[in-house]
Structure 1
Amino acid sequence: MNPSTCPGPDVLLARLARGLDVSPPPEHPPSEVYLHDLAVRAGLRDPDVFLVAGLPLPEGALDLEGTAGGWVPSLVQHSLALSPADRRRLRTRARAAAGRPRPARTLERPPAEPGPQGLGSLLVHMLALRNLSPSAVAETMCLMSGVCKAASTIRMVRDGVKELDAELLGGFAAVLGVPVAVLAALSGVSAPAQSAGPSPEVVDVAALIWEVRHLTEQEVRELADSAEELNRS
């Protein structure tokens, strides 16, 4: 999608609602209740839909320790091979870590400004909320979907230099843990032929990525080590 012709937030939000068989928002800006319902139906998170709607992010959404995201691909690699029960155990540990008081900290990698307006920028920004840099997005996308692209390609998508296609759409959908049809409705890009919803392990791991977004580098590394140990047991 060419950034110069990208529809505005109201059109994108209406597209997403229509793709989910939901009535368009009755008011602008839409209420948080409406946006939350849309997020649940889509399998997205509230901040994702705030981005679609062009609204300010909730407080704390950008509380990220940038170096921690570099350990997410290792966590993903080991978690995908776990049994459903072990994935649940790992998510329980992640939630417990996330529930501990966060120390005051200076962000080591302040969130990058979104690129030019466009669907690619929007999707990369959604993954930045999960503390994934372009390099981490590329590695994680390859592991979760088999769509293997260089970090430079992810940056080109973010900057509007490379347009989204069906393959990339499937890769982004896997990392977000949503049916590719959701992103197809949002973007207007045709979904891959015979595309099914994400597998249970992909859904679980996408949820785990969300759970660990505010953790420190040490905490994410420890979870990755725990996942590796569970695979050995």
Structure 2
Amino acid sequence: MEFPSFGVLLRRLLDHRQLDVGSLSHAAGVSEAELRDVVDGRLPGADLLRALAPALKLHPADLFVMACQKVPDELAPLDASARRYVKYLVGYALCLPSDQRFDLRWLVRELPQEPRRQPYVPRKWFDPHEAGAGALVANMLYANRNLDWSTAAEVLALCSNGRMYVSASTVVMIGGGKAELTPHRLADLSTLIDMPAGDLAAMTGIPLPDGSPPEDPAADDAAALLWDVRRLSAQQVWQVAVRAEEMRYALPDDAIARRFRWTGPFRISRHPPNDRDS
């Protein structure tokens, strides 16, 4: 399977946004000639991808995925073992009112940056040339948002309010090109990866379904929080998740507006992780 080059994906995105190469080169502060070469098929360099990200309002790491290039360590999640706490954090955050979700993100921003102890290894990396658009989206999930098989399925169900309630194996099969990335699935996945559904549809060539998913500020905030905690260690993510749990259980059950909630053992361990857990 021949997957479109980064230049093709970029051209589709620009066409969808009704932008031209000259406008993007000016906004990104890069050579228009260099950018046109990339649109015409030349492989983009790392510096160009970093420069384009803020101009496109996309994460630099996601541009590396779009270019089928390894995400540099400094742009990758800090601690692979932190993924075990993500489903708790997202589940609790979705139940909170907007001001408390803001407080959680503020807590994350205030936590100090710890040094990287080892290179980040994603749970899985899919080859878009073999699996197509499903691989592109799955790599944004597994490699850039520090998710594993089961966590990805659970967080998808939570952030879609139950619309995308699939098994962990189905998510893996989507990434491997063995299960269809349908328009409805694409729309729900776009929420989790914090990317406008129209952008993702334009790049992948998969049309959006009739009737967009309802606006869901809680899911948007949870997806942003998922991105924010990439820079944290497992112990720091555990700390944030414990705080989110305390905030959630301080609310009466009838104050929770979410129609769909994960029904598993919704309690996080009160014992912080240590180096041996990593």
Question: Fold conserved (TM > 0.5)?
Answer: yes
Secondary structure (helix, strand or coil) at the match of 2:231 reads coil
Matched residues in 1 for 2:214 and 2:37: separation?
31
How many residues matched? 223
Q: In percent, how many aligned pairs have the same letter?
A: 32
1:119 aligns with 2:129: no
Q: Aligned letter for 2:19?
A: V
Q: Aligned letter for 1:132?
A: L
1:181 deviation in Å?
1.6
1:35 deviation in Å?
3.5
1:46 aligns with 2:60: yes
Q: Normalising by structure 1, what TM-score?
A: 0.86
CA contact (8 A) 2:113 2:231 kept: no
Distance 1:11 1:198, change over 3 A: farther
Aligned twin of 2:233: 216
Structure 1: stretches of 5+ with no match in the other structure? none
1:207 aligns with 2:224: yes
1:83 aligns with 2:93: no
Matched residues in 2 for 1:199 and 1:178: separation?
14
Moved over 6 A (4+): none
Q: Normalising by structure 2, what TM-score?
A: 0.73
Distance 1:49 1:197, change over 3 A: farther
Aligned twin of 2:5: 8
When structure 1 is superposed on structure 2, of 221-230 and 194-203 the one drifting more is: 194-203
Q: Aligned letter for 2:87?
A: P
1:110 aligns with 2:121: yes
Q: Aligned letter for 1:95?
A: R
Query: Which residue of 81, 93, 101 maps to 2:114?
Result: 101
1:148 deviation in Å?
0.9
Distance 1:116 1:33, change over 3 A: closer
Q: Using CA pairs under 8 Å that are at least 6 residues apart, name the structure with larger relative contact order, 1 or 2.
A: 1
1:12 deviation in Å?
1.4
Structure 2: stretches of 5+ with no match in the other structure? 22-34, 39-43, 251-278
Query: Which residue of 116, 119, 131 maps to 2:146?
Result: 131
CA contact (8 A) 1:19 1:182 kept: yes
Secondary structure (helix, strand or coil) at the match of 1:227 reads helix
- Which has the higher Rg, Structure 1 or Structure 2? 2
Aligned twin of 1:36: 54
1:212 deviation in Å?
0.6
Query: Which residue of 177, 185, 188 maps to 2:205?
Result: 188
Matched residues in 1 for 2:14 and 2:214: separation?
18
